[in-house]
Structure 1
Amino acid sequence: MRTPPRTLTAPLYAVALVALTAPVALAAPSGGPATDGGAEPRALSWTTTTVDADQSFRGLDAVDRSTAWVVGASVTGGRGKVFRTSDGGASWQDVGPADATGLNFRDVEAVDARTATVLAIGEGEKSRIYRTSDGGATWTEAFRNDTPAAFYNCMDFYSDGRRGLAVSDPVDGRFRIAATQDGGRSWKVLPDDGMPDSSGEANFSASGDCLTISGEQAWFGSGGERSRVFSSRDGGLTWSATDSTIPAGEAAGVFALAFRTPGQGVAVGGDFAAPADGVDASAVSSNRHTWRSGGDLTHLGEDVSWLGHRVVVVGQGGPVGGASVSDNGGRTWQRFSDELFHTLDCTSDGACWAGGGGGRVGRL
């Protein structure tokens, strides 16, 4: 699995494994304490449905209020599944590839109710990308990693829908990028000449959003020996890296990023070894390139998404987690729920969807 970096010692690996597989006791939505001491946010709460209790959901893409896709892995070793709703969550259909036993789906990028691309993570050939254009009735394997040391963690597409990038943990000291120019139908590994030295770093496939694209710029986050944000404006050929201000550590760093515009972004993270410690677990950028510390959280920040002018963050480490909201671009946060989710996506028409352990999906 790739929640923390590959170099975890056994105790920390166990922490991350619990975060992926442990059963979760559902908590009622809660207007928890405001982390900035201000007024409570406008009432927010989750409506939660158990779609498949054997799945741990860590990848989700919402198209609109009606349509969303969520992907996961079996906690008992069965088939990794892909589910889709097209009726606002009233029902969910298992539409994933049939040959997915043992696969760990961690990311999905959807165009609509019929077209989606999903990423399975893992070392070597376990890292794969599948694509459907008929709502999951059939799937085509578009990419299978053939480098034993590579481990792909997340992907995203440019707004034209044709170009996309996927990021792998470093190979020979540099993060590896795969790219598509045809909507995910085929992928090729890009040369790494333009990638800064990344020795000792890794991505986190905590939520499928460790890499994000806005406008013509792409970003991804890292953790491990350094906690940085990498950015590219030329389709993934060259990258620059800057400190994220989120603390680094063996199981710590940047877990997810989201941009309201190409110039206004939020990064979130934390430490899987200390999931209740959200100090300095967010960072903000107003110029695409440099980052400054955002507000503290009271839980991990595994995923983050913009909901209009507001920002929503979710996260879970074992039994510890919650959801928070910011009304000022991530400078301060207010916890509004104790519900436990790993992945999140909000849409332009005002809906937020989330996925988590025990096969649960929530709608805000």
Structure 2
Amino acid sequence: MRTLPRTLAAPLYAVALVALTAPVALAAPSGGAPPSEAAAPRDLAWSTTTLDANQSFRGLDAVDRSAAWVAGASVTGGRGKVFRTTDGGDSWQDVGPADATGLNFRDVEAVDASTASILAIGEGEASRIYRTTDGGATWTETFRNDTPAAFYNCMDFYPDGRRGLAVSDPVDGRFRIAATQDGGRSWQVLPDDGMPDSTGEANFSASGDCLTISGEEAWFGSGGATSRVFHSRDGGLTWSATRSTIPAGEAAGVFALAFRTPGQGVAVGGDFAAPADGVDASAVSSNRRTWRSGGDLTHLGEDVSWLGHRLVVVGQGGTVGGASVSDDGGRTWQRFSDELFHTLDCTTDGACWAGGGGGRVGRL
């Protein structure tokens, strides 16, 4: 199980392992000036539940205020689990595939409370996609990577629910894209001649949102040799790449993106080797093409989501992390919680769900 992408993980494997297995603790990070208590929003607080302390949750998709899915991996090598709630989080059911021992589920994308796809990450055949249409009672494996050098990290679907994309770390110097045209029932690897050279870069499967789709446009982030945002307007066939303002590094770069509209987006990230350093850990765009520096964070930005006009960001590196909110499109951030989560998703009806280490889920 790795927080870092395969191509960047080896030198800092211990850092990733700590991020996955460290016991949950509430700790304020050092470095950077945290917002004052007076400035911290008073209307935001997490209600948390532990579903399975042996799971680390990094994949989450919220359907609405009642229904949400969360997916993870066993920190001891057991079965990767998927949980679902349909009653607003009052109860959760383990609905994941039975044959998932050793699988590391890092992304879940739901159509509704019954239909969802989940992505397992890893080298070669460890990268797989499963689909259910009956709330997890049964699952069908719809994709298994057959390229040893590929390592899929995250996926997303277009608004029509039929078309979707999944992104892998570079193969022969170019990021690899798999696509579906039938709601995730089948996937095909796209040609890479429309992908810019990506040598030395990789994705981060920190939260399942390293790739995101808004309207008819798709974006994914990178780190490693450089920190960039890749953009496609033709279903993933061709991509342009723009430098983000988030620092690059062996374990640093863009971890997640979110768009309110195709023209208004935010990217968040950081450095897994320095999880308390949130300086320059966000970037914003208002024109699809260029990115400028957003506000500093006091923790990693592993995932970000729009909650109406607000932005919420979460991140956890070992025992260091927290949650912050922005009311100005990501230009400034206010930390409002020390709760530790890797992933979150907010819905159009005003609910935010989150998942993290120690098998914890939260609702805002």
TM range (shorter): over 0.9
CA, structure 1 residues 34+319, in 2 after alignment: closer, same or farther (shift >3 Å)? closer
| Correspondence for 2:41 | 41
Cα deviation code 1:85-115 (max 9, x no counterpart): 0000000000010100000000000011100
CA, structure 1 residues 2+238, in 2 after alignment: closer, same or farther (shift >3 Å)? farther
CA contact (8 A) 1:34 1:333 kept: no
* Secondary structure of the corresponding residue to residue 358 of structure 2: helix
Cα deviation code 1:238-285 (max 9, x no counterpart): 000000110000000000000001100000000000000000000000
Cα deviation code 1:299-352 (max 9, x no counterpart): 000000000000000000111000000000000000000000000000000000
Is 1:98 the counterpart of 2:108? The answer is no
Cα deviation code 1:189-244 (max 9, x no counterpart): 00000000000000000000000000110000000000000000000000000001
Deviation at 1:17, TM superposition (A): 1.3
| Correspondence for 1:123 | 123
CA, structure 1 residues 347+24, in 2 after alignment: closer, same or farther (shift >3 Å)? same
Deviation at 1:40, TM superposition (A): 2.8
Is 1:251 the counterpart of 2:251? The answer is yes
Q: In structure 2, what is the Cα distance between the partners aligned to 1:7 and 1:240?
A: 22
Q: In structure 1, what is the Cα distance between the partners aligned to 2:9 and 2:26?
A: 30
Q: In structure 2, what is the Cα distance between the partners aligned to 1:27 and 1:308?
A: 29
TM-score w.r.t. the length of structure 1 is 0.96
* 1:1-364 equivalent positions in 2, closer than 5 A: 1-8=1-8, 12-26=12-26, 35=35, 39-364=39-364
Cα deviation code 1:21-49 (max 9, x no counterpart): 21212579xxx975499833242110000
CA contact (8 A) 1:35 1:332 kept: no
What's the C-alpha RMSD, in Å, of the aligned pairs? Answer: 1.6
CA contact (8 A) 1:34 1:335 kept: yes
Counterpart AA for 1:125: E
CA, structure 1 residues 309+263, in 2 after alignment: closer, same or farther (shift >3 Å)? same
Counterpart AA for 2:131: R
CA contact (8 A) 1:5 1:223 kept: no
CA contact (8 A) 1:2 1:121 kept: no
Cα deviation code 1:61-83 (max 9, x no counterpart): 00000000000000111100010
Q: In structure 2, what is the Cα distance between the partners aligned to 1:282 and 1:160?
A: 29
CA, structure 1 residues 170+146, in 2 after alignment: closer, same or farther (shift >3 Å)? same
CA, structure 1 residues 91+9, in 2 after alignment: closer, same or farther (shift >3 Å)? closer
Q: In structure 2, what is the Cα distance between the partners aligned to 1:110 and 1:9?
A: 29
Provide structure 2 residue ranges, at least 5 long, that are not aligned to the other structure.
none
Provide structure 1 residue ranges, at least 5 long, that are not aligned to the other structure.
none
Number of aligned residue pairs: give it. 361
Q: In structure 2, what is the Cα distance between the partners aligned to 1:276 and 1:119?
A: 29
CA, structure 1 residues 324+99, in 2 after alignment: closer, same or farther (shift >3 Å)? same
Q: In structure 2, what is the Cα distance between the partners aligned to 1:9 and 1:235?
A: 29
Q: In structure 2, what is the Cα distance between the partners aligned to 1:122 and 1:337?
A: 32
CA, structure 1 residues 9+66, in 2 after alignment: closer, same or farther (shift >3 Å)? closer
Counterpart AA for 1:191: P
CA, structure 1 residues 9+264, in 2 after alignment: closer, same or farther (shift >3 Å)? closer
CA, structure 1 residues 134+5, in 2 after alignment: closer, same or farther (shift >3 Å)? closer
TM-score w.r.t. the length of structure 2 is 0.96
CA, structure 1 residues 273+340, in 2 after alignment: closer, same or farther (shift >3 Å)? same
CA, structure 1 residues 339+151, in 2 after alignment: closer, same or farther (shift >3 Å)? same
Counterpart AA for 1:257: L
- Quick one: percent identity of the two aligned structures? 90
CA contact (8 A) 2:6 2:123 kept: no
CA contact (8 A) 1:33 1:336 kept: no
